[in-house]
Amino acid sequence: MSGDPAAEPLILGIDPALRVCGWGLVRGGLKPAFVACGAIRPDPKQSPARRLRALFDGVREVVSMYAPDEIAVEDPFVGQLQPASALAIGQARAAAVLAGAVHGLEVEFYAPAAVKAAVSGYGRGDKRQVQAMVRMLLGLDLPPEPLDAADALAVAICHLNQRRARHLERTAGR
């Protein structure tokens, strides 16, 4: 991993949900650099199929605009969700994954506890704690909004950490 930011990967993190799907872009390196973040908000008055299409199109638009090298998606924690909610999150996740696949991108998945631990050292922090840690790690003046975008940035940071660890393992074995 070089020190040249242009040579470092651009990671798109996704926090999938059917109501508000957060996205965040971070450029890799020894210190991750903020690129952009936002949220896709399908119209809640639309049918589930149309909302999934809006989510798919929104992620495709972000991918087309920023051309990330890799995508990282938070796996839903469905243990405490109602079955219908778990299914909706799974569908949102699938729409995001397919949007990346259309562009030929590989997708990695991370458990919420792993994402939280990557940014805070603690796998059970709440959304506000994640938001505050992402702000500090990326050197932002203000916390990223909405919370879903902060979560997506945390997913991207988690992926960069895992990517760096895999790289170190490969180079140490030489």
Q: Single out the catalytic residue among 74, 75, 106, 108.
A: 74
Task: Check 8, 15, 70, 151 and give the catalytic one.
Answer: 15
Residue 61 a catalytic site member: no
* Bond before 146 cis per omega within 30 degrees: yes
Tell me which residue of 81, 79, 76 sits closest to 92, measured CA to CA: 76
Helix (H, G, I), strand (E, B) or coil at 33: strand
Give CA–CA dist 134/9, Å, rounded: 18
CA separation for the pair 157, 72 (Å, rounded): 9
Sheet of strand 70-74, all strands in order from the earlier edge strand to the far edge: 33-40, 21-27, 10-15, 70-74, 107-110
Catalytic pick among 4, 70, 145, 148: 148
- 151 tagged catalytic: no
Please indicate whether residue 126 is annotated as part of the active site.
Answer: no
Catalytic residues: 15, 74, 148
